[in-house]
Amino acid sequence: MKYKLLLSIILGICTQYSFAQLSIVRHQDEMTDKVYFFASEGIVIKSEDGQSGFRVQLSIGEKNGKLNESGLIVKVVNIGTCYENNKLTILFENGEKFTVVSWNEFNCEGDAYFEISKSNWELMQTQKVKKIRFENGRSFESFTGEVEDKDYFITLGKLIIENKYESE
């Protein structure tokens, strides 16, 4: 009986640490004292061979001591070579979807930044994500993938509302 109890405790501890929990992290640059907030994880959509895809991460800001959503940051690999006027389409499990267009300038580093409207942010906080598509606005190449953590934005939305973060 003692061995079963010990085994249960060990398995519980291992399970707890084997699954990273999505969180908001606060980082303060020790040289400039500037404070940054970021999600501990992003949504990664990649090809089967891992040679192309993209990573979506919620941009998080702070105003008057309160956390807020400040857009989406997307890092793209091998969906075209240079990027501008890109489109990001998010499809939810309930069938709703929206498309946003990147606002940043032409670049060949795979960076794309998107603003999110208040109504789209409300949707993201309440609906599970099914798929995301990135379309290169220069070459019109696109890539669509299933989302593994369907509650990604719901979880971050709750953390933002609760003003809950960890310090690095």
Burial 137-148 (b: 16+ CB within 10 A, else e): eeeeeebebebe
pLDDT of residue 168: 81
> How high is the pLDDT of residue 84?
95
For the entire predicted model, the pTM comes to 0.84
How many CA atoms, within 13 angstroms, populate the side-chain half-sphere of residue 153? 26
- Rounded Cα distance between 23 and 4, Å, is 33
For the structural domain made of 22-167, what CATH number should be given?
2.60.40
**Contact assessment for residue 156 and residue 61, using Cβ atoms and an 8 Å cutoff:** no
- For residues 61 and 34, is the Cβ–Cβ distance under 8 A? no
Distance CA 168, CA 158 (A): 20
Please answer whether residues 77 and 50 qualify as being in contact, where contact means their C-beta atoms are separated by less than 8 angstroms.
Answer: no
Break the chain into its structural domains and give their ranges.
22-167
The contacts of residue 114 (CB under 8 Å, 6+ apart) are: 71, 72, 74, 88, 100, 101, 102, 103
Residues of the chain with pLDDT under 50: 1-19
State pLDDT tens for residues 84-121.
999 999 999 999 999 999 999 999 999 999 999 999 99
CA angle (86 as vertex; 80, 87 as ends), nearest 5: 120
